[in-house]
Structures are given as C-alpha cells and as structure tokens.
Structure 1
C-alpha cells in the first residue's frame, strides 16, 4: 500500500536525532546535573519489501501494443523494441515510486516509535523544568541570603562611620570651645592690662598737667614780679631823667 512518504523521511532523518550520530546511540548526558529518563534508542532503518519485477503487472497489454504498432506500419522487431523500451521505462518509474512508498504496517510501527520518542522527550522536559525551577529557587534563596549579609554589613559600616563622625564632631566641638575659652581669657587679660595701663597713663598725664599748671602759675607770678620791677625801673628812670632835666634847666637858667 502506498504511503505519504512521511515515515520514510522520518526514518532517513533518524527521528529528529543529532546529525552524524550513530543509529541506536544514547542521548547526551543532561547538563547541570538534571535528572533524565533512560536513553531511548533511535529508529531502525527497515527496508520496504518491493514487489519483484517478475511479479509486477504492467498497466497495458504489450501484445496488443505490438499489434497496434504493426498495424501503423512498424515492423515486428521495431514494435517489440518499442514495447520493450516502454516496459523498461515503466519498471524504472515503478522503482522510483516504490522507493518513496511504505507499507501501512511499517507506517504504524514508525508512528508508534515517534509517539514513544515524543512521550520520552515530554517526560524529560517536565523533569528538566522541575529541576530548573528547583535550581532557580535555590539560587534565589542563596542570593537573598547574600543580599541580607551585604545589607547587614552595610548597616554595620554605616553605624560605625556615623559613630566615628559623631565622635570627631564632639572632639572638634570641644576643641573649638576650649579655643574660644582661651581666646576669651586672653581677651580679658588684655582688657585688664589695657585698663591698668590706661589708669597709669591717666595718672601720669594728670601729674604732668599739675606740674605744668604749677609751672605756669609760677611763671605768671614771675612775670608779674618782673612787670612790677620793670615798671619801677621805668618810673625811676623817668624820675631820674626829669631830675636831670630840671637840674640842667636850673643850671642854664
């Protein structure tokens, strides 16, 4: 019985196996430690039982065709040669057709093998998905633990840095406070010293002013006495001149 050629093409491709792999070779080992079912053998190549040449029936009557050719003017040998060539061409065509044909039993066997192989692949995919999901969940848990550890380390480092900064700020504040206290003390000492010097300066200025005033008063007194002496001297001089003038006047008179 003729088939669609699907079974033969599947047999030729090895049921979807890897190119170049030998027939009956086991599947490659699963990666990453995933579980897999037992390896399934590839399909075996089965030869199609083609009808022998002597048992085949031609689709036309060779004797009638020879007689028909003789009627149309061909010789007997020519007609037999033409019919023989047509028979050979028909056999070659049948061989070509039979190569792409498969029996119903062989097609059913191949289909069952394909379905079994697909079931095995489906089971492997389910197991692979479960294993992959378990591995992903384990990796997620591991990453979560690592993230928690990193978070805790960051919190510890942040607390340590905050404490160090707070201590540095307090130390700097104490240093600035001490510096301000020292500067204020120095300012008070400078102010006291300035007041002392100002008091001594004021007392010295007052003493000098008193001395100047006393000297001015003595100078005024001396000037007054000198003035009186000068007036007396002038008066005596005037009287002397008058006396001399009167003497000369009397002498000449």
Structure 2
C-alpha cells in the first residue's frame, strides 16, 4: 500500500502522470530503479520519517532477492529537515562532555560489504552508497543521543568529588546550624525555666496571701460568733435570774395576799359567829324571831362568800398586773 492508495485525494501531479522517483543525496530513488516514496509528517516538536517504503514485493529477509516493479509516481521532494533529538535531561552540575569527535568515530558495521550486498540485490552503486550514508547518519545521531546522557570515568570522578564537596559543605552547615539551634533552644529553655519559676513563686505568694486572708476572716468570724454566743448566754442567764427573782417575789406577794385573805376571812367568820350568837340570844326570847334568824344567817353566809370571792379576784388581778409590768 503506497501513498496514493492511502491518500487518493492528495495524489501529486507527477504521480498521476506515472513518473518514477530518484534517490539522490536527499534519499530519493530515481525512475530507472523504480523505488518507493518517503512520507514525512510533523509530530509535536520533531517529526517521524519513513525513509524507505517497500520496493516491489515485501522482503522476507534483510537482503533477500528483490523483484523490480513498474516505475511509480515521482514524489516532489519536501524541504530537508535536520533530525530532532530529545532535550537533555537536567542533572547535577550538567556540563557538555565530548566523548569522541564524530569524524574520529569508527563505524559499527562494514559499509563496503553492505554497499556490495545492496548492489547484488539490484540497487545502483549511488543508491547503495546513499542508503549506507543514511544509515551511518542515523547511527551517529543515535550515538549522539546516547552520549548526551553519558560521561567518562574521569568526569564521573570529578562529579563525584564535587558532590562529596557539596555534601561536606552541607554537613558543616548542618553542624553549625545544629549547634546554633541547640544554643538557641538551650537559651530559650533556660528563659522559660526562669519564667516558670517566677510564675510558680508568684502563684505560691498569691496562694499564701489568700490562705492568710481566709484564716484571718475565719478567725474573726469565729471570734464574732463566740462573742455573740457568750453575750446571748449572759443575757439568758440574766433573764433566768430575773425571772427567778420575779417568780420568788410573785410567790411572796401571793403568799402575803393569801395570808391577808385568810386573816380577813377569819375575822369575818369571828364576826359572823358573834353576830350569830347575838341573834340566837335575841331570838331565843321571841318565838317568831327564829325564822328571821335563819334568813339573816343565810344572808350573812352569802355575803361572806361573795366577799371572799371578791377578795380573791382582786388579789389575782393585782398579781397579773404586777407580772405584766415586770
């Protein structure tokens, strides 16, 4: 399958006219050999190229018999582009290292034998030399790509020494930083310890002050309560003494009043008895006077009872008035 079968709408005028292609210095095959075309397409930053298509039938081996075919369409040569290589990777202390100049490098295969083999398989001498030249160019480009990531043993030792020097410098910096950091941490630790001691001392002072104030307040309150209790006991004792005193006075007054009442009652009884005897004597001489005597006696008893009750009420009222005043 060629370019025309894949892209019929893109067939070039030379291809429609049935012309062949020539392999020159750019890699094109001439009409006398009936070669295939080369397609190039841009992909990203570089391009991929199919340098040589199938010529005639497919080759079962690298140098099998080649059967010529009718000449194919001549493709217009595209502008030549240099082979693009990948960008070199960034590494530690990157520097360009010249391994071997391209003109001094040895070819990795026998170019003369390859040219003769290509001539044996139907290629012209110029075509075979062009193919071999292209292969050498590709080999050199591949070696250049590989050499970009390679260094010599001497350069490797130099780089290793540089890395070790950098590591020693970093180690020294780390030691200095560690010492300075430890010194700073030690100073900060001492400062924090002093501050903590000050705070602890301040807290202890405040605690002692609060305890002293609390003890003083408790002692003052206890003294006040004790004084109040003593005062109340004293007042209670005074009240009890006064009560007993007034009770004794009241009892003496009651006894005195009772004695007076008893004396008055006795005198009244004596008076009543004398009156009774006088009345009996008077009525003894008069028969009708017995009834009057009886009535008089009843009236005397009633008046004496009323008098006793009145005396008792009066004495009790006087006693209550005196107690109320006390």
Answer yes or no: is 1:59 the counterpart of 2:59.
no
- Match for residue 133 of structure 1 among 161, 182, 185: 182
> How far apart, CA to CA, are the structure 2 residues paired with 1:104 and 1:239?
184
1:168 alignment counterpart = 217
> How far apart, CA to CA, are the structure 2 residues paired with 1:238 and 1:104?
186
Structure 2 unaligned segments of length 5 or more: list them: 1-87, 291-326
Answer yes or no: is 1:185 the counterpart of 2:231.
no
Number of residue-to-residue matches in the alignment: 203
2:207 alignment counterpart = 158
Contact 2:115–2:125 (CA<8 Å) still a contact in 1? Answer: yes
> How far apart, CA to CA, are the structure 2 residues paired with 1:155 and 1:239?
117
1:93 alignment counterpart = 142
> How far apart, CA to CA, are the structure 1 residues paired with 2:201 and 2:288?
126
Deviation, structure 1 residue 176: 2.1
Deviation, structure 1 residue 83: 2.0
Larger helix percent: 1
For 1:59-111, what per-residue CA distance to the aligned partner results, in whole angstroms no more than 9, with x for missing partners? 11222112112222334344333323322221111111111111222111111
Q: In the superposition, relative to structure 1, how do residues 63 and 215 fare at CA in structure 2: closer, same or farther (>3 Å)?
A: same
- Between 229-238 and 169-178, report the one with greater CA deviation: 229-238
Q: In the superposition, relative to structure 1, how do residues 93 and 198 fare at CA in structure 2: closer, same or farther (>3 Å)?
A: same
- Highest relative contact order (Cα 8 Å, sep 6+), 1 or 2? 1
Normalising to structure 1: TM-score of the pair?
0.69
CA RMSD of aligned residues (A): 2.7
> How far apart, CA to CA, are the structure 1 residues paired with 2:134 and 2:239?
141
> How far apart, CA to CA, are the structure 2 residues paired with 1:101 and 1:239?
182
2:264 alignment counterpart = 215
Structure 1 unaligned segments of length 5 or more: list them: 1-7, 15-42, 242-253
- Between 188-197 and 215-224, report the one with greater CA deviation: 215-224
Q: In the superposition, relative to structure 1, how do residues 126 and 145 fare at CA in structure 2: closer, same or farther (>3 Å)?
A: same
> How far apart, CA to CA, are the structure 2 residues paired with 1:52 and 1:160?
93
For 1:145-195, what per-residue CA distance to the aligned partner results, in whole angstroms no more than 9, with x for missing partners? 222222222222222222222222232232223222322222232123212
- Match for residue 125 of structure 2 among 72, 76, 101: 76
Choose 1 or 2 for highest CA Rg.
2
Contact 2:99–2:152 (CA<8 Å) still a contact in 1? Answer: no
> How far apart, CA to CA, are the structure 1 residues paired with 2:289 and 2:279?
15
- Between 232-241 and 176-185, report the one with greater CA deviation: 232-241
1:146 alignment counterpart = 195
Normalising to structure 2: TM-score of the pair?
0.55
> How far apart, CA to CA, are the structure 1 residues paired with 2:185 and 2:137?
67
Q: In the superposition, relative to structure 1, how do residues 206 and 52 fare at CA in structure 2: closer, same or farther (>3 Å)?
A: same
> How far apart, CA to CA, are the structure 2 residues paired with 1:172 and 1:89?
111
- Between 89-98 and 187-196, report the one with greater CA deviation: 187-196
